[in-house]
Amino acid sequence: MLTLKYITENTTDVITRLAKKNFDGASIIAHVVELDNLRKTTQVQVDTASAELNNLSKEIGLFLKQGKQDEAAQAKEKTVELKENIKILGDQQTAVEQKLNELLVQIPNLPHASVPAGKHAEDNLIERTGGSIPNLPTDAVPHWDLAKKYDLIDFELGVKISGAGFPVYKGKGARLQRALINFFLDNAMEAGYLEVQPPYVVNAASGYGTGQLPDKEGQMYHCTVDDLYLIPTAEVPVTNIYRDVILNENELPIKNTAYSACFRREAGSYGKDVRGLNRLHQFDKVEIVQIQHPDKSYETLDQMVNYVQTLVEKLELPWRILRLCGGDMSFTSALTFDFEVFSAAQERWLEVSSVSNFESYQANRLKCRFRTPDKKTQLVHTLNGSAMALPRIVAALLENNQTPEGIRIPKALIPYTGFDLID
RNA sequence: GGAGAGGUGCUCGAGUGGUUGAAGAGGCACGCCUGGAAAGCGUGUGUACCUCAAAAGGGUACCGAGAGUUCGAAUCUCUUCCUCUCCGCCA
């Protein structure tokens, strides 16, 4: 979330910038400022009263030590009213702080100056493109047909075991999955990321830390007996490694990568967009996460985008990079680049990666800070990106590389699959 | 799941209800010493919020978390979470 300090010191600027995200912040920001003032005056009152009580208590201690029972009793009487006062004021302060926090988590991150205005996906800017769209034969079919033809993925079997959106990968389909995971992890490692294996379920504090809670409560699977959430992305556990941590400046940047299965309820999304691998409840993804100095985070964002570009290039897929418009960006992001690959048989672009700078928005919730040379603490910037999500990559690979002989595997992947053709 | 022990600062570790934000040790930082280093000596070493134009200074809160008893709680009581040991179960 945004820091109180920033909001109260840059009120009009905050409202203007939020407008780009199509968020009307005028009234909520005014409310925040008002509550913050109340918070301060209340704290002064509580602190003053508490200080008085502390002093009285010390006096009483001294009186008793000196055997001055009467003076002690007198002082005790004085504390009664003081304590009542502190209780009332303290409750008030807690209530104000709670309300303030409730409001703060409802305010999205401010978009970066370079974010284009816009409301929908159509307003996103195409940053650059690459690769070439293959000319498929007229009898080319979408990946769900190919998956069946070569017995790679069994969607119906997944329905039987779990439900829609939980496919079963088989044979070369399963090996392709495993190959892609290793390919992505090895590349990330070579790019200097430390591989970590995080838990797949997290507690509420972690969900809150990265912003899934309370905003996207309904999108996560919730194990109510133990009050744990299945992770929608490895971003959640990996970023939360740094929750409540004060780093040394020389530890920055921190670069982590992690493979995980991802679980998403995808409540409310139905229709033809969800066919085959396009939208699943469980899928595999390799994530990259960086914790960076605020001065360098945009430089790092560019590096991460360039890195993901090398992946789609190695996989020989036609790709494009979008700079997301204000309306299409996530709640917590300041600047996001999406990667899409062209799915030749479906004849549409599929989102396969999203790389974002969250600036200090997540860090503020996480309380992840670093120590500056003058020994002060400052919030870090957090960034992450998919590198990459498997299902749509698989969809594009299958569709784009279909030939009469079978499905061709891109050269870079063959050492990982151990085969060069699916037939 | 059953029984027991315990959770204190960067780490280890003391702590009797009353100047304890917290002894002591280690670590770290700075300074002195040195040609340089080690050793030695000295000094310093939490976070958040508030106050102050700012700095200095001052105040409040925090000894797993929450509530309570008390004039006063790291210290007493209750709840809860977590860790460890033993037993049980088990990949």
- Which positions of strand B lie within 7 Å of protein CB atoms? 18-19, 47-51, 58-61, 71-72
- Supply the pLDDT for residue A382: 96
Distance in Å, residue A201 CA to nucleotide B21 C1': 37
Distance in Å, residue A59 CA to nucleotide B74 C1': 22
Confirm whether the ipTM is greater than 0.95. Answer: no
3-state SS, residue A410? coil
Distance in Å, residue A4 CA to nucleotide B67 C1': 29
Structure tokens at A230: 């299945």
Distance in Å, residue A246 CA to nucleotide B26 C1': 21
- Supply the pLDDT for residue A391: 96
In the DSSP assignment, the letter for residue A269 is -
Who touches strand B, with Cβ under 7 Å? A 4-5, 39-40, 43-44, 46-48, 50-51, 53-58, 60-61, 64, 76, 79, 83, 246, 369, 371, 375, 377
- For chain A (423 residues), the mean pLDDT of every run of 10, in chain order, is 93 95 95 94 92 89 82 85 89 91 93 95 96 90 95 95 94 97 98 94 89 85 87 94 88 94 82 80 97 95 98 97 96 96 93 96 92 86 96 96 95 97 94
Distance in Å, residue A225 CA to nucleotide B4 C1': 27
- Supply the pLDDT for residue A272: 56
CA distance A299 to A287: 19
Distance in Å, residue A68 CA to nucleotide B52 C1': 38
- Supply the pLDDT for residue A63: 85
> Which nt sits closest to A39, CA to C1'?
B50
CA distance A22 to A327: 6
- Supply the pLDDT for residue A270: 64
> Which nt sits closest to A64, CA to C1'?
B18
- Supply the pLDDT for residue A269: 65
Q: What is the pLDDT of residues A231-275, one digit of tens each?
A: 999 999 999 999 988 888 888 899 999 999 999 998 766 665 678
Edge-to-edge, what's the strand order for the sheet holding A222-223?
A201-202, A228-230, A222-223
Contact A265, A218 (CB under 8 A): yes
Helix, strand, coil percentages for chain A (3-state, nearest 5): 45, 20, 30
Backbone angles phi, psi at A313, to 5 degrees: -70, -45
